A = this chain, B = another copy of it.
Amino acid sequence: MTTIKDVAKACGVSTATVSYVLNGKRVLLPETRARVLRAMQELNYHPSAVARGLSHKRMNTIGILFGTVNTMVVVSHPYTSFILQGVLTASSSAGYNVTFCTDPWRTAELSAATYRDQRTDGLIVVAPPMDADIVPALASCNIPIVTVSYPGDPYGIASVDTDNLHGTRLALEHLRGLGHTRIAHLTGPVNMLGGRTRTEAYHHFMSAEGFHLPPEYAAGPGAFDADLAYAQTRRLLTLPSPPTAIFAANDQNAMGAMQAARDLGISVPIRLSVVGVDDTPEGAIGIPALTSVRQPLIEIGETAARLLFQRLAGDAPDPSTWLLKPTLVVRDSTAPPVS
């Protein structure tokens, strides 16, 4: 590997001169500059990002950490992979590299080393459980971070998320507009901001509308999991007064619900309407195609990355929560209730 010294020696200048050619922080004689450039070419020289990083104390690299339990199956999951896509796009155009934190978060104690070694200039933490110590731990050692789907404010951190209140309203207004009044909810995990917020929004909307529904209509504890949703839906549909519509915390839950309905011989959407959240390909292709709240995941990833870059550049963005508007994709799993 040729170093800056080799180049300097090769054309009889000091390493400082080569360095100035490299980053143009001083004016040099065109002739000198040309000679150095030629030598760099001939020697096939490429400066070491590591040495540079040590001097500059920044590596032009951000890390992305998926805060979910099962970190390793995360990439092929539609939610995370689209967020990742957005982060990569924004990073690419901002000249940043992205390193994947492969080491899943355990506890602040155990995982600190991986995230505090200055290998990355900052971190994007995606959807960490609300009860994990990861965000406070990272925040307390001044690592610049931006979170996705996590309450940022308490720690003075910028955070990006879907406007889940709005998304829930879209789904529920759609159902109510079709004439549904007996609308149940499959809850997501309470320790995830997205799940919790949708459930809160559901209750909020329902009481604002003056609907008084039995508690079984939003039974917890939930998860982002088709099997649990399946079981919960069976229970709902065998209630004396079953719901005519279900708002599921995400598409996986919705798929579980549709399966349960199918197994009970209850046709969707004729006798049961189902709305999910996430607009996954699986839902879109399912039979019937799932009506779903589409989160702007790529934009969320891009926004998170951009906020982090701003923060790293010094223009501190106000550490607040950025909510991006979801949209409702109406497909074939919703229809007016049979009366």
Contacts and interface: CB of A to CB of B under 8 A. Distances in A.
A267 to B, nearest CB: 17
B102 A44 contact: no
A242 interface: no
Interface string A96-127: 11111111100000001100111100000000
Q: Could you say how many copies of this chain the assembly holds?
A: 2
A17 interface: no
A46 B113 contact: yes
Nearest to A72: B89
Contacts of A113: 46
Given A50-B59, A100-B99, A81 B76 contact: yes
Interface stretch (A6-14, A153-161, A279-287): A279-287
Interface string A287-324: 10000000000000000000000000000000000000
B72 A76 contact: no
Interface residues of A, number: 47
A72 B92 contact: yes
Given A85-B73, A281-B282, A47 B97 contact: no
A61 interface: yes
Contacts of A51: 54
A207 interface: no
Nearest to A49: B117
Top-4 shortest CB links A-B: A49-B117, A92-B102, A99-B99, A46-B116
A245 interface: no
A103 B112 contact: no
A141 B46 CA distance: 11
Contacts of A89: 72
Nearest to A59: B50
Contacts of A47: 117
A27 interface: no
